[in-house]
Amino acid sequence: MREDVELFATEQMAKGFADTRISRATTVDGDHGRIETRTTTVIHDVGWLQKRHDWPGLKAVAMIESQREINGKTERETRFYLTSLIMEAALLGPAVRSHWAVENSLHWVMDMMFRDDECRVRTDHAPANFTTIKHIAHNLLRQASGKDSLRIRRKVAAWDDDFLASLIAA
């Protein structure tokens, strides 16, 4: 399916998307010494793809082309997304970006605080139970007042029974 989408998008780009209905939006962000330009193209005519692959709820294909300039070097990447949303590119691009920001920040925090990637719990219901307990702990630590980092709050909770009790009682 990915190959079909990529081939179709490449052919349509070469024709200037003359044979299909699209919406397009471009954003430019500059941060931490880099400039990133993202062009989101939403291909709304996907009946051919739906007929060929029978993907439930498919309404559009999004193509995000990103170009990142760092210290004079340019990196390019193209990502494709299937969506059940009927949404214009100006709205879908930021939605995709915010979804990955949440995913990446949560996974990073869980890995740094709880060493999720190193966890060897793998049998029966233990992985799901363990993950649920870690998420509860993370949420309790996040809600604690003060300016200490999550890592410090976790250490204090291990050392100070009163602080631990205040986290649980909150």
Report pTM.
0.63
- Tell me the C-alpha distance between 82 and 85, whole Å: 9
Q: Which two tokens stand for residue 160?
A: 């100070």
* Range(s) of the domain holding residue 126: 119-170
Residue 130 and residue 169 in one domain: yes
Residue 39 and residue 85 in one domain: yes
pLDDT in tens, 18-64: 888 999 999 998 877 889 999 999 999 888 888 889 889 999 999 99
Q: Are 139 and 131 in contact (CB under 8 A)?
A: no
Is residue 23 a part of any domain in this protein? yes
Per-residue pLDDT for 100 more than 80? Answer: no
Which element (helix H / strand E) includes 142? helix 126-143
Task: Mark which of 64, 99, 134 sits at the end of a domain.
Answer: 99
CA distances from 93 to 18, 22, 44, 64, 134 (A): 22, 13, 14, 7, 31
Q: Are 111 and 117 in contact (CB under 8 A)?
A: yes
